[in-house]
Structure 1
Amino acid sequence: MGEDVQPIYVDLASESDDPHVTVIDSLCLACQRKGTTRLLMTRIPHYKEVIITSFECEHCGNKNSGFQSGQMQDQGVRYELAVQSEEDLLRQIVRSDYASVTIPEVELEIPGNMQKGEVTTVEGILRRTVEGLNQNQGPRRLEQPEVAEQIEDFMYQIQGLLTLNQNFTIIVDDPSGNSFVENPLAPKADPQLKKKIYNRSSEQNAALGLSEQDSVENGLQFGNEVTENAVEVNTEEESGNVVDEILVFSTLCDRCSRPADTNMKVTKIPYFKEVIIMATNCEACGNRTSEIKSGSGISEKGKRITLRLTDPCDLARDVLKSETCELKIPELDLHVGGGLIGGKFTTLEGLFNNIREDLEKNPFLGGDAADEDRKIVINRLVDDLDEIAKGRLQVTFIMDDPAGNSYLQNIYAPDDDPEMTVEEYERTFEQNEDLGLNDMKTEDYIDNSIANECEELLAEVH
C-alpha cells in the first residue's frame, strides 16, 4: 500500500538512489551575487529529524552549512562536558538555533538565537568564536584600541583552550531539546559528560513561541487534538473511567511526517499498575510504532530490578521500560540511558533486539564518523546482544528507574522469583532534580489571597 510513497525525511546516510536534495538559488551575502543552497531533510538515528543546509558561491568561494530541527521537543536539555584531552576537542556537537554555549573558565557565553544551528565539534565552536571575534579587528584597533586589546586578550584565552593549556567545561543548554553532545564511550556511561532533561519555564516557552497550553500538552506527551472520529467514552457506564476504551488522536508519522492515527489505551498490568499504551499506524508508508507511559505518575521511591538470565525461557518475560529507566548488563559493560530507546512494553528478547538495532543504526557509534577502535567495540557488543537474544549467553540484567515506573515479569508470581530481586530506594537530590521534583510545590498550593477570596464568596452565598 505504501511502497510508492517517498518519506519526507530520509535516514542519514541513506542508500536511496534519490537523496531528496532540493537545490535553490540564493543571494551570497559576501559578494552580493547568486549562489546555490542545497537542502536535505533527513533523520539522524538516536536524535531528531533535521533539515541540513549547505550554501556555496562559485563567484567568491563563500561556503557555509547548518541545520534546522524538524520539531520542538517536549523538554529542554542541558549537556555539561569536562574537556580534558585532544579527543574531547573532537567530540561532535549538534547545536540548534536556540542552544546557548557557555565556558565558565573563560567567561565565554554564546546566547541562543545568535547563530543558526550547526553540526560541529568542541574545537569547531572555539575556532568559530575566535573567527567571529577577529572580524573588524583592523578598524577597531584604529577607532577603539582599548576594546581591540581586550578582545585580543580574550581570543588568546580561547586559543589557549584549543592547545589544552587547562582543562575546561563546555555547557550546551537548549530549551528546545534539539541539541546533542557525543558520548564516545557509548553505550557505556561517560563520567565526563552530564546530561539533564528539564521542564521549560514560562519565559523559555515564550522565547520559543510556545503557549502555556502547548507546554501542558507537550508535558503529557500527546500534544494533539482528538479527531472527530475518536472513540467516545460511555460516561453513563464508565463514569469517566477510560479503561478498556481506545481513544484515537491525530498525529504525524515519525518516519514520513505525514498525518497518521495514534490509538491510546489505558490498561492494568498484573502485579504492577496502570499504564498508557500508544500505537501509531501510518497508512501512507506502512510504518508502525508503539510507546508506553505510566498512568499513575512518579512513584514515591525509585526501583532497581536485577535478573540473572539462566534459561532461554527468561527471554519471553514481559518487560515495561519507562522513558526514565536505565538498563545495564555489567558483563558487557553496557549502560543504556533512560532516553535512548524511550518507553517500551515488550519481551526481554524484543528489548535486546531493540538495543542491538539502535546500536547498529547509530552513525555516531558505527558510521563513517566513528573511529575503527570504536567500531570494533560496537560490533562485538552487537554480537553479544545477539547471543543473549538467542539464549546462548547468560548475563545479569539490571533495570534502574528513579521514577519507579518500570516492570519485569515474575514468572513465579505470586511467589518470589529466585533469579530476580526488586529493590526500592530513596532518590538522590540529583535524581529528583532530573525528574523536576525539587521545584514542585505541593503544600499550600493555593495562594492565601485566592483562599481569602473563596472564603468571602462562600460567606456571601451563605
Structure 2
Amino acid sequence: MSAIGQLEPVRGGPLFRPLSAEDEEQQPDEIESLCMSCYRNGVTRLLLTKIPFFKEIIVSSFSCSSCAWSNTEIQSVGRIQEQGVRYTLAVTVRQDMNREVVKTDCATARIPELDFEIPAFSQKGALTTIEGIIDRAVAGLEQDQPVRRATDKDVAGKIDEFIGKLKQLKEVDSSFTFIIDDPSGNSFVENPCAPQKDDALVVTRYRRTAQQDAMLGLEAEETDENPADSMEDLRNEVLQFNTNCPECNAPANTNMKLVQIPHFKEVIIMATNCEACGHRTNEVKSGGAIEPLGTRITLRVTDPSDMTRDVLKSETCSVEIPELEFELGMGALGGKFTTVEGLLKDIRDLIVKNPFTLGDSSTPRRVEKLQEFGRKVYQIMEGHMEAHFILDDPAGNSYLQNVYAPEEDPELKVEHYERTFAQNEDLGLNDMRTEGYESGLTSER
C-alpha cells in the first residue's frame, strides 16, 4: 500500500480514471516485488481505475518471470458500506456473459439452478466477467482432478459431469440465475442500460447479521437489543418493495418510511415513482390507531407565510373553506402530507381541471363558476384574500402545523369532539367488538 501513495496522476489528471479501452493514457504502474512462490523478484502492476456507475478500485496483477507464477486481484478503495448488497441477474442471452463483475473476496457467488456456490474468501477479489467467474470455478475444480481419478474415480466422474454443466452455461442455451451476495456492499454487476433501469438485474441492499459483521471484522451488535433502538432504526430506514405503476402498469418501486411529526404522532409516507412513464404518487397512512375523539382544526389564513405550514390530511379527513362555500368530503384526494399551499393546489386541480365538469355537456355558467372558484383559491394562496381553512377528521389522525409550538398559535384552533353514531358507522367502529380479547375471550352479541 506504501507504493500506492507514490503514484502520480497522469498528466495532471485524476488519480482514479474511468475504466475505458479508449483511454491510451491509462496505463498500469509497475512495481518490483517479492514472489511468494520462489522468493525471487517479480513485477506487480497496479491500475487505479473507476468503474462507471460504481466506485474506485485498485486492480493488481503480479507475475514472476522466474517461476511463471501469477496472481490477479482487486481491492475496493472505499470503506465497508453501511449495508450489504445482493445482485440477482437473470442470464438469458450470450451477451450477459460479458457483463463486468467486481467480486470482492468476501462475496459469495451462486447459481441456484445448479445448486452451485463459490463461498466467501475461497477466491481472491477480481475484476472480471460472469464468464470469467465460471472459468475460474472450472479451473479450480479441474486442478485436483488427476489426483482424484487415481484415488476415487466415482467422485472424479461426478466432478467431471458437473464441470461439463458449468461449461454448458456459457453457451446460454437455457436461462439461469447468477447471484453475487456481498455483506461488505463493495461488489458490483454491470448494468449495460445505465443510468436506466435494467429489468434483468435486481439490486437488493440489506442489513448485515451479527455473523456477517464478525466475518468482516466489525464489532458485533449487542444480542439483547433495546426495543427503543430497533424502533429508531426503523424510523431512519427507507423500505422499498416492488409494485406496478397505477398509470401504465409497468414495474415500479414504492418507497415507504415511518416519520415522526413533531408535536403529533407517527405516520407512514409511501411514494411511487415510475421510470417508464414518469408518473409519481405519494400517500400517507396513519401510524397509530383511531383516536378516542374526533379532531376539528381551523386555521385563519391571513398571511402568505401560512401557505408553508405542514398539513397531514388522512383518508378520513374532510376539508372546508366557508368563504368559498366549499367542502371536500371524506376520502377525496386520499391521504396526503403536504403544505397548505400544496393542498389548495390539489383542490383547485381537482375542481377546476376535472374533465367531468368541463366536458361537452358543461354549461357556460358552470365553467364561469369553476373559473371564479379557481381565481379565489389563487387569491387565498397569494395572500390577497382572508379565509378559514378547516380540517375535520373523525378519526383524529390529521394535523396542521403550529408554527409557534409549543406555544399557542393565535391563528390556529384545535377542537376535540365526540363522534356521532353516523361517523362511527363510517369508520366501522359500531360493529367492532374488543371486549375480552386480552383474556382470549370474546363477548357474545
- TM norm structure 1: 0.47
- State the structure with more CA Rg: 2
Tell me which of the two structures has the higher relative contact order, counting C-alpha pairs closer than 8 angstroms and 6 or more residues apart.
1
